[in-house]
């Protein structure tokens, strides 16, 4: 084994570097095969998309606060760019719908997944397992470029005749097909082609990640010595690998419906605008929903698991304690992986698929909450008795716990089909999943950015700006999403372009909350300004880190030079111990790195 494993790494790298020319700009930053550069490419691109998706939502919120009046701040801009759809600065209902659809799509597929899986997974995973790079570096590059062009296509779809996709991020058929029937190259078509590119990118990424974790673990890095972050990425990889292809199939079928006028998802005798649609019929709208949610539910865990992984790393590091129940966390994350494939139809209780089927999915849904709760509990108990350092990454990581807790627990009434009949498609649902992904996942990702920034750049991010960013975001997030539970319980439906003013079910209290939510959303926008300033200023003028391991961490990502060179490690690391040996009694320091000889 020793002869087989010692053929690589930095000694060879240093030798090579003398003979090779320094790569040019394009090779180094655009067509790079280095996992760290690709990780940063993913990171920056997805942060831009996150900001863009956030601004779409801000426009919608500003419209909801004053239905029928011009959108504040962005009104003129919208009219200039989009013309007819935003006449006089007022969003048409169509435009509102398309912003809603694209907000969801961009946040999920172009923002959070690429940041959580593409950026952190790429940058950190090979470092933490002690690998010189990903197993397939060129495939890695291809996967970033597919993602990038998929994103460009999505953005371009705003400018095609008829506007961008406007049938929700779920693109339910037949609505998605009939919305622009007779105009083959519409926004929905571009959405589908964009999705096929994004899915292909994720598939290549998933193959690469899983292979890397299986094959390139360094000597001594056994499965139970993997940092929890790597476990989370490993399971996420499997979810992407196996859940995305059915959506790709669904996308191909819907493309056929849109372009070749097949009837995969169009029922017999469908009447649109008083006329029977000129298609054969014989298809099934329910089929789309099954195929979509077969991805859609594992996708939720694709969003949350990497964030959990980051939070686990940050918490172990800043409590100076081993994670409590590391093994049960690992088994839980595996159970989540398996169970997430058999819960999808809890999104479809109201489709009339039958009570027996509903009962099955209700049961599995309750089952999957168990491993999630185990992980959350383990992280909570990890805090117990630690001498906690409340730096910016830790603040984000700690607040992840209650925020994700709220998001998860409010999901239970949606998982029971009896209460779901009432809550379905209301603002309650929006409140629930935003608690999971916004103050949940995105806080986890912020923690990761603040935590690994010193490794990526050799400088720390500013602590004061970081704290401002955190506290304002925490307040803003809660003021935005908590009132949505009230709105939903009071019967306010989602997807109302006028904020529910003409909707008989919504009462005054629910509608009045729209204004306060909008103001809080503006606060949330302001809260991101210190982060953006911090991110760019710190690259050049942040405080330089002292040594390669500024946080006193145990995992291998901190055993590399800072920033890590091409090939990562100075010498091939050998692992002798578990991932979280903090505060070991009798040890000279309060942490023992994984590669320290016993």
For binding to another protein (CB under 8 A), which residues are involved? 1, 4-5, 7-10, 12-13, 16, 131-133, 135-137, 139, 203, 206-208, 210-211, 214-216, 241-246, 248-250, 252-253, 256, 260-264, 268, 278-284, 287, 290-291, 294, 566-567
Minimum separation from the CB atom of position 568 to another protein (A): 8
Rounded CA separation 416/418 (Å) = 6
Least distance CB 283 / another protein (angstroms):
6
Instruction: Name which of 257 and 595 has its Cβ closer to another protein.
Output: 257
CB-side neighbour CA atoms (13 Å) of 45: 26
CB of 167 to another protein, least distance (A): 20
Burial 528-551 (b: 16+ CB within 10 A, else e): bebbeebbeebeeebeebeebbbb
Question: Hey, is 290 helix, strand or coil?
Answer: helix
Distance CA 598, CA 592 (A): 10
As measured in angstroms, the least distance from the Cβ of 281 to another protein is 7
111 versus 298: smaller Cβ distance to another protein: 298
Nearer to another protein, 273 or 588 (CB): 273
H helix or E strand, kind and range, residue 272: strand 271-272
Q: % helix / strand / coil in the chain, to the nearest 5?
A: 70, 0, 30
Q: What angle do CA 143, 149, 151 make, to 5 degrees?
A: 100
Radius of gyration in angstroms for the set of CA atoms belonging to the chain, rounded to a whole number: 24
Least Å distance between CB 105 and another protein?
A: 20
Contacts of residue 53, defined as CB under 8 A and 6 or more positions apart, other chains included, come to 102, 103, 106, 107, 110, 111
Largest Cα separation within the chain, whole Å, is 81
Closest to another protein by CB, 7 or 26: 7
- Select 16 or 425, whichever has its Cβ closest to another protein: 16
What's 559's DSSP letter?
S
The Cα–Cα gap between 454 and 546 comes to 10
SS3 letters for 122-146?
Answer: HHHHHHHHCCCCCCCHHHHHHHHHH
Q: Which is nearer to another protein, 246 or 431 (CB)?
A: 246
Least separation in angstroms between residue 292's CB and another protein is 11
Least distance to another protein, CB of residue 298, Å: 11
What is the spatial distance between Cα 252 and Cα 246, in angstroms, rounded to a whole number?
Answer: 10
Which of residues 432 and 566 has its CB atom nearest to another protein in the complex?
566
C-beta of 517 vs 575, nearer to another protein: 575
Shortest distance (Å) from residue 58 CB to another protein? 36
């Amino acid at each position: 084994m020793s002869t087989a494993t010692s053929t690589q790494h930095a000694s060879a790298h240093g030798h090579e570097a003398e003979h090779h020319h320094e790569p040019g700009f394009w090779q180094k930053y655009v067509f790079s095969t280095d996992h760290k550069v690709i990780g940063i490419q993913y990171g920056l691109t997805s942060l831009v998309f996150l900001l863009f998706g956030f601004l779409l939502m801000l426009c919608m919120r500003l419209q909801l606060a004053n239905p029928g009046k011009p959108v504040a701040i962005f009104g003129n801009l919208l009219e200039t760019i989009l013309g007819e759809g935003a006449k006089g600065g007022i969003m048409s209902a169509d435009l509102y719908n398309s912003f809603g659809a694209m907000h969801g799509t961009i946040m999920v597929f172009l923002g959070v997944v690429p940041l959580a899986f593409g950026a952190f997974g790429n940058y950190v995973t090979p470092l933490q397992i002690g690998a010189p790079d990903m197993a397939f570096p060129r495939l890695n590059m291809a996967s970033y470029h597919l993602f990038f062009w998929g994103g460009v296509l999505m953005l371009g779809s705003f400018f095609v005749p008829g506007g961008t996709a406007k049938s929700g991020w779920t693109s339910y058929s037949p609505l998605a097909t009939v919305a622009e029937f007779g105009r083959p190259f519409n926004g929905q078509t571009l959405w589908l082609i964009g999705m096929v590119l994004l899915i292909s990118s994720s598939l290549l990424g998933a193959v690469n990640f899983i292979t890397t974790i299986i094959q390139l673990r360094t000597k001594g890095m056994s499965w139970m010595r993997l940092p929890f972050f790597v476990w989370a990425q490993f399971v996420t990889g499997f979810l992407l690998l196996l859940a995305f292809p059915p959506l790709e199939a669904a996308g191909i079928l819907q493309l056929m419906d849109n372009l070749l006028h097949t009837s995969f998802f169009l029922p017999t005798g469908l009447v649109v605008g008083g006329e029977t649609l000129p298609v054969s019929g014989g298809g099934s709208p329910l089929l789309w929903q099954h195929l979509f949610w077969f991805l859609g539910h594992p996708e939720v865990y694709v969003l949350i698991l990497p964030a959990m992984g980051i939070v686990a790393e940050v918490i172990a590091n800043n409590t100076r304690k081993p994670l409590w129940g590391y093994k049960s966390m690992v088994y839980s994350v595996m159970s989540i992986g398996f169970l997430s494939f058999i819960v999808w139809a809890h999104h479809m209780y109201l489709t009339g698929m039958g009570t027996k089927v509903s009962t099955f999915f209700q049961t599995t849904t309750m089952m999957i909450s168990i491993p999630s709760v185990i992980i959350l509990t383990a992280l909570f108990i990890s805090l117990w008795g630690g001498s906690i350092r409340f730096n910016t990454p830790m603040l984000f990581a700690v607040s992840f716990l209650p925020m994700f807790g709220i998001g998860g627990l409010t999901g239970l009434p949606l998982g029971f089909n009896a209460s779901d009949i009432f809550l379905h498609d209301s603002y309650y649902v929006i409140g629930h999943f935003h608690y999971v992904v916004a103050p949940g996942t995105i806080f986890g990702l912020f923690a990761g950015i603040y935590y690994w920034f010193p490794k990526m750049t050799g400088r720390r991010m500013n602590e004061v700006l970081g704290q401002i960013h955190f506290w304002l975001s925490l307040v803003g997030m809660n003021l935005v999403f908590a009132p949505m539970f009230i709105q939903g319980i009071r019967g306010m439906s989602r997807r109302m372009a006028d904020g529910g003013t003409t909707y008989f079910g919504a009462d005054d209290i629910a509608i009045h909350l729209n204004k306060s939510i909008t103001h809080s959303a503006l606060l949330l926008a302001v809260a991101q300004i210190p982060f953006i300033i911090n991110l760019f200023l710190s690259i050049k003028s942040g405080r330089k880190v002292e040594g390669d391991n500024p946080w006193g961490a145990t995992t291998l990502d901190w055993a590399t030079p800072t920033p890590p060179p091409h090939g990562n490690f100075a010498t091939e690391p050998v692992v002798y111990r578990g991932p979280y040996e903090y505060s070991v009694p009798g040890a000279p320091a309060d942490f023992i790195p994984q590669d320290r000889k016993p």
